[in-house]
Amino acid sequence: MSDSDLHLRNQLCFALYRATRLIQQIYRPLLDELGLTYPQYLVMLVLWERGTVTLKELGAELDLDSGTLSPLVKRLKAAGLVTTGRRAEDERSVEIALTGKGRSLRERARDIPAKIGCATQMQLEDIVALRTALGELADSLAESHTAMAAAR
């Protein structure tokens, strides 16, 4: 344990924070053309995979809660990309479904990953390795977090 641990550039967390914001700046002009923000794009990715999801499932997939997702989905709805409605079997749940417009937006998003990959200047295998390492880190952090929450 040394003082160097408190140096900004020695912190994994700052490296994550910086890389995350920089990569979102690469996405921004591409997503602007689709009229989406980055979190909205993530929601659309889930919908393009599944067609229909509940808000709760969306939250589990993205690690986000209703405080973030409710207003976000409301904006997607206002943009005509999704419809929402309570589930008949359980009226607590909200189901979110793609509209035709929402589904067709996927075509215009198709070339985004390639453009991003280009900006990273990385080999595909390095990207995959980094993604895998980050996924494992996130999983153990999620575990630590729920363990700490349970201890309270």
Partner DNA sequence: CGCCATTCAATTGCGCGCAATTAAATTGTG
Partner DNA sequence: CACAATTTAATTGCGCGCAATTGAATGGCG
CB 89 within 8 A of CB 135: no
Query: Residue 99 is encoded by which pair of tokens?
Result: 């509209």
Contact with DNA (CB under 7 A): which of 7, 28, 101, 108? Answer: 28
The amino acid that residue 54 corresponds to is T
Residue 79, SS3 per DSSP: coil
Inter-residue contact 47 to 98 (CB < 8 Å): yes
Query: If binding is defined by CB under 8 A, does position 107 make contact with a second copy?
Result: no
148 binds, among DNA, a second copy, none (CB under 5 to 8 A by kind): a second copy
Whether residue 98 contacts residue 45, with contact meaning beta carbons closer than 8 Å, is answered with: no
- Binding residues for DNA, rule: CB under 7 A, are 21, 24-25, 28, 37-40, 54-56, 59, 63-75, 84, 89-94
- Binding residues for a second copy, rule: CB under 8 A, are 1, 3, 5-27, 29, 38, 42, 45-46, 48-49, 61-63, 106, 109-114, 116, 119-122, 126-127, 130-131, 133-135, 137-138, 140-145, 148
